[in-house]
Amino acid sequence: MLALSKVDASINNIPILRDISFTVGPAETVALVGRNGAGKTTLLRTIMGFTTCHGEMRFEGADLRAVDPHRRPGLGIGYAPEDRRLFSRFTITQNILLPAQVAKLGETETASRLERVYHVLPELRDLGPRPAGSVSGGQGKMVALGRALMLSSRLLLLDEPFQGLAPVLAQRYAEALGRLREIDPTLAIIITESNPELLRSFASRTITVERGQIDSDASNERTT
Ligand SMILES: Nc1ncnc2c1ncn2[C@@H]1O[C@H](COP(=O)(O)OP(=O)(O)OP(=O)(O)O)[C@@H](O)[C@H]1O
């Protein structure tokens, strides 16, 4: 589904990623781990088209680099960035609906995708009318997941979703991912995390990044 081959990426002419090659297939949950500053966020941003990169990136067989960054979500790729990037004056629901509007989805399709989001994250139904600026950091992570789910029919990229979450919210977030897996078994998910142990239980595979390069890529013993 997603295949990177010898990808180098830089930000403001500073080389960050070197010689990145891996593939992710449907139904895989991949943990992308590495120390702070290893390059995990940059790798997700490269897939979304926000860095200068060289090498080959293919998505469902087509050249992903030829697709403008703002069109990549429309291919079925959802992205929840580490810093959430919610529009604080918009309501929670408006934030969640935004990608659907940008992708010009029809009303019926948008409504059914919103129902899918509520199935995975029931608490967002009640939070919906509140301005996004009024929710806690942890709740904001749930909203960012909901927004990413609107278009993630094929691939979901989550950047450090557990960082800074109180244990109760982390548990709810993990349960939400479990519900997502149940209703969408073929979705591919890539989750970044600096603590490799945290994702071992529900990721089928762990890719370790160190200083901008892939250090290891191995299946996990326990899978979901
Ligand atoms: N805008 C930028 N300009 C210059 N260098 C950057 C920029 N963004 C990231 N970097 C550098 O790229 C490297 C990789 O950063 P990245 O954010 O991808 O790491 P990470 O593995 O996601 O780290 P963390 O776990 O702390 O989020 C770091 O050395 C960082 O300083």
- ipTM of the assembly? 0.94
Query: CATH number for the domain including 17?
Result: 3.40.50.300
Q: How many residues does the chain have?
A: 224
Which amino acid, one-letter code, is at 26?
Answer: P
Q: Which two tokens stand for residue 59?
A: 């998505």
**Position 72 in a domain:** yes
Coil, helix or strand for 110? helix
Residues facing residue 77 across a β-bridge: 155
**Position 188 in a domain:** yes
Atom of ligand 1 nearest to the CA of 38: 21
> What domain count does the chain have?
1
pLDDT score, position 223: 42
- Rounded CA-CA distance 112/97 in Å is 12
**Position 143 in a domain:** yes
Domain extent for 127: 2-219
**Position 62 in a domain:** yes
Alpha helix stretches (DSSP H) within the chain: 40-48, 92-102, 107-120, 123-127, 137-151, 167-183
Establish whether residue 12 lines the binding site of ligand 1, counting it when its CB lies within 6 angstroms of any ligand atom: yes
- Rounded CA-CA distance 138/116 in Å is 21
**Position 21 in a domain:** yes
Establish whether residue 13 lines the binding site of ligand 1, counting it when its CB lies within 6 angstroms of any ligand atom: no
Establish whether residue 72 lines the binding site of ligand 1, counting it when its CB lies within 6 angstroms of any ligand atom: no
Q: Which of 11, 84, 193 to mutate to test the pocket of ligand 1 (most atoms within 8 A of CB)?
A: 11
- Rounded CA-CA distance 199/197 in Å is 6
pLDDT score, position 224: 45
The pTM for the full model equals 0.94
- Rounded CA-CA distance 56/22 in Å is 11
Establish whether residue 52 lines the binding site of ligand 1, counting it when its CB lies within 6 angstroms of any ligand atom: no
Cα of 88 from ligand 1 centre, angstroms: 25
Dihedral (CA of 209, 210, 215, 216) sign = negative
Residues in the chain, pLDDT under 50: 223-224
User: Which residue has the least CA distance to atom 7 on ligand 1?
Assistant: 11
**Position 224 in a domain:** no
